[in-house]
Chain A
Amino acid sequence: MPPLALALWLFNVVIDTGGQLAFKAAAGHPQAGEGLARWRHMARRPWLWIGIGCYVAEFLAWIAFLSLVPLSEGVLLGSINIVALMLAGRLLFGEKLTRLRVIGMLLVSVGVAVVGAGA
C-alpha cells in the first residue's frame, strides 16, 4: 500500500472511531432528558458537533483513500473499525466485553472483510 493510502487509512480509523465515540458521549449523557429537550441538550454541547465534523472529514478521507486502493481492499480494511470501537467502548465507557459480545463483534468484523474480499 502506498504511504499516502496507509496514512489516509489510519486517519479514517481514528476519525471514524472518534466520531462514533463522540456520538455515544452525546446520546448517552445521563442528564439529557427526554424527547425534544434531549435534542436541545445535545445540540448545546460540543459532542454531537464533533461527531458530525468527524463524519464529514471521514467522508472526504474515505473517498481519497478509495481513489488509491481497490474498493474490495478498502472494505476489508474498514472492518478493523469494528474492533477499534469494541476496544474503545471498553476503555472509555466501561462496556462489558462478555464472551458472547466479543464473538459477535468478531464474526461481524470477519463477515464484512469476507464480503469486501469477495467483491
Chain B
Amino acid sequence: MRRLYLIGFPLLMAFDTLAQLSFKMAGSHALPVEANLAWLLRVFGHPWIYGALIGYIGAFFTWMSLLEHAPIGPAFAASHLEVVSVMLLSAWLFHEPLTLARVAGALLILAGIACLGVAESREGAAAAREPAAAG
C-alpha cells in the first residue's frame, strides 16, 4: 500500500501538471479566443493539445488505480499537490509572479499532505497489527 501511494501520487501529480501546462501552451498559441471552428482548428492543430490529452488520460488511469485502496477524502485532498507543482513551473516557464500568499498557500498544502502521509502510515501499521491480534 505504501509503495502504491509513493508511486501513485507523484505520478498523478506529473500527469495533472502535464495536462495543465499543455492546456496553457495550446491556449496561448491559439489566441485570440473565438467561439468558432477556426479557433478549434488552431487549438487542435497544435501539438500541445495532445500533451493535455495524454495528461488527462494518464491521470484518469492513475487515479482509478489509487482509489482501489485509497480512501476518497484524504486522496482527493492529496491530489492537490498539483497546485504546488503547477505554481512552481508557471513561475519558471511563464514568469507568473510567486507572491507571498501563493508560497504560503503552497506550504500549507505541503504540510497538509505530510499530515495525510503520516496518518496513512499509522493506519497501515494499525491494520497490519489487527490480523495478528485476531489470530
A48 and B113 CA atoms in complex are apart in Å by: 27
Which B residues touch A114, using CB under 8 A? Answer: 101-102, 104-105, 108
What residue in chain B is nearest A108 (Cβ atoms)? B112
Which B residues touch A96, using CB under 8 A? Answer: 71, 123
User: Interface majority SS on A: helix, strand, loop or mixed?
Assistant: helix
Q: Which of A86, A101, A109 has the most CB of B within 10 A?
A: A101
- Number of interface residues, chain A, beta carbon within 8 A: 43
A105 touches B83 (CB 8 A): no
Q: Known contacts A27-B64, A42-B64, A115-B102: does B77 contact A109 (CB below 8 Å)?
A: yes
- In chain B, residues 95-118, which have Cβ atoms closer than 8 Å to a Cβ of chain A? 99-102, 104-116, 118
B119 touches A82 (CB 8 A): no
A119 and B97 CA atoms in complex are apart in Å by: 9
- In chain A, residues 49-108, which have Cβ atoms closer than 8 Å to a Cβ of chain B? 81-82, 85-90, 93, 95-98, 100-101, 103-108
B104 touches A108 (CB 8 A): no
Q: Which of A106, A108, A119 has the most CB of B within 10 A?
A: A108
Which A residues touch B105, using CB under 8 A? Answer: 110-118
Contact of A106 among B78, B101, B112, B113 (CB under 8 A): B112
A27 and B8 CA atoms in complex are apart in Å by: 14
Which B residues touch A48, using CB under 8 A? Answer: 64
A-B pairs with lowest CB-CB distance, top 9: A118-B101, A107-B112, A111-B108, A104-B115, A114-B105, A115-B105, A89-B73, A111-B109, A27-B67
- Pick 29 A–B contacts, CB within 8 A, sort by A: A23-B63, A23-B67, A26-B67, A27-B67, A32-B68, A48-B64, A85-B72, A85-B76, A86-B77, A89-B74, A97-B73, A100-B118, A104-B112, A104-B113, A107-B112, A108-B108, A108-B113, A108-B116, A110-B108, A110-B112, A111-B105, A111-B107, A112-B83, A113-B105, A114-B102, A114-B105, A115-B87, A115-B102, A118-B104
